[in-house]
Amino acid sequence: MDYVWHFGIVWDYRLVFVRGAGITALLTLYSTLIGVSLGLLFGLFRSSNIVILRWPAAVYIEFFRATPVLVQLVWIYYSLPILTGLQMSGIASVSVGLGLHAAAYFAEIFRAGIASIDKGQWDAARSIGMGYGKAMWRIILPQAVRRMVPPFINEFATLIKLTTLGSVLAVYELLHEANNLINNTYRPLEIYTVLALAFAVLIYPIILLSQRLERYWKTNS
C-alpha cells in the first residue's frame, strides 16, 4: 500500500513546534549554565594537588559519566523529593539533571585545557610572586579557554539533543510536543521527519562552528 505524505499537517500545527522549541531552548540554557559553573569548579578541583579536593571531584565525574542520563533524570525527579522533601517541576528537574550530567564533561574539558598549558607558564607566574589562584585566573585559564572552546561547543550540541529526554518527565519540549501531535493527527512519519530536520538545522551549524574554530586555532597557534 502506498503511503501518502502530508506535510501540510506540520504547517497547520507549526505553533506547537515553536512552543516546544522554546522549552528546548530554556532547558539547554539552564543546563548549560549549571554544567559550566559546576564543571569549572570540579575541573579546578580535579587539577588541584590537594587530595581532599581532587578525589571527590574524580568520583563525581566518573559517576555521572558512567551512569545513563535517563536514570539520573528519573532519580532526581522521583527520588529526590522522597529524600529531601524538595519537589521540583519537570523543567527544573531536567535542567538540574542535565546540568549535573554535563558538569562531569565540562569538568574534564576544563581539566584537559588547564593540563595542556606548558608548565613553564606556572614557573613564570611563581617567579613574579603570583600564588596558585592568581596564576590560574590571570595566566593559565585565559590561555586554556581558547583550547576549550571547540569541545565546549560540542558538549553544548550534545545537551540540545539530550533535552529530548525531558519527554519522559512530561516536559513539553520538542519531542514531547511532537508525540502529542502524533496522537492527534496520526502522522508520525511527517512529524518525526520534520523533528529530525529541526534538530539538524539547530545542531549542524554549532558543530560546523566548532570544527572551523578548531582548524583556525590550529593554523594560527
b/e map of 72-82 (b: 16 or more CB within 10 Å)?
bbbebbeebee
Estimate to the nearest angstrom the gap between the alpha carbon of 113 and the chain centroid: 18
- Cβ–Cβ contacts within 10 Å for residue 144, how many? 22
Please calculate the CA angle 70-156-18 and round it to the nearest 5 degrees. Answer: 80
- Cβ–Cβ contacts within 10 Å for residue 145, how many? 12
Distance CA 8, CA 96 (A): 37
Distance CA 101, CA 161 (A): 13
Here the cell at position 36 is 559550566
**pLDDT tens digits, the chain, 221 residues: what are they?**
688 899 999 999 999 999 999 999 999 999 999 999 999 999 999 998 899 999 999 999 999 999 999 999 999 999 989 998 888 999 999 999 999 999 999 999 999 998 888 888 888 888 888 887 788 888 888 888 888 988 999 999 999 999 999 999 989 999 999 999 999 999 999 999 999 999 999 999 999 988 888 888 777 76
Integer-rounded Cα radius of gyration of the chain: 21
Structural domains for the chain: 22-170 (1.10.3720.10)
Distance CA 104, CA 68 (A): 13
Output the pTM of the full model.
0.90
